[in-house]
Amino acid sequence: AQTVTQSQPEMSVQEAETVTLSCTYDTSESNYYLFWYKQPPSRQMILVIRQEAYKQQNATENRFSVNFQKAAKSFSLKISDSQLGDTAMYFCAFRPRSNFGNEKLTFGTGTRLTIIP
Amino acid sequence: EAGVAQSPRYKIIEKRQSVAFWCNPISGHATLYWYQQILGQGPKLLIQFQNNGVVDDSQLPKDRFSAERLKGVDSTLKIQPAKLEDSAVYLCASSPRGGLATQETQYFGPGTRLLVL
CATH classification number, B5-116, choose in 1.10.10.10, 3.30.300.100, 2.60.40.10, 1.10.3210.10: 2.60.40.10
The shortest CB-CB distance from B105 to any of A50, A91, A102 is to A50
Look at residue A96 in the predicted model and tell me its pLDDT: 86
Q: Which domain holds residue A10?
A: 3-116
Cα–Cα distance, A50 to A65 (Å, whole number): 10
Asked if B42 and A91 come within 8 Å (Cβ–Cβ), the reply is yes
Domain count, chain A: 1
CA atoms within 13 A on the CB side of B64: 14
Q: Does A89 touch chain B (CB under 8 A)?
A: no
For residue B98, pLDDT over 60 is answered with no
| Set of chain B residues whose Cβ sits within 8 Å of the Cβ of A110 | 40-42
Burial class (CB in 10 A: 0-12, 13-18, 19+), B77: buried
Look at residue A101 in the predicted model and tell me its pLDDT: 60
**Cα–Cα distances in Å, from B27 out to A87, B31, B94?**
30, 11, 9
For residue B45, pLDDT over 80 is answered with yes
Asked if B108 and A44 come within 8 Å (Cβ–Cβ), the reply is yes
- Count how many pairs of residues, chain A against chain B, have C-beta atoms within 8 Å: 66
Enumerate the β-bridge partners of residue A116: A14
Give residue limits of the domains in chain B. 5-116
The pLDDT tens digits along chain A (117 residues) read 789 999 999 999 999 999 999 999 999 888 899 999 999 987 689 999 999 998 889 999 999 999 999 999 999 999 999 999 999 999 999 988 865 666 788 999 999 999 999
Look at residue A74 in the predicted model and tell me its pLDDT: 96
Residue A55 sits in a domain whose CATH number is 2.60.40.10
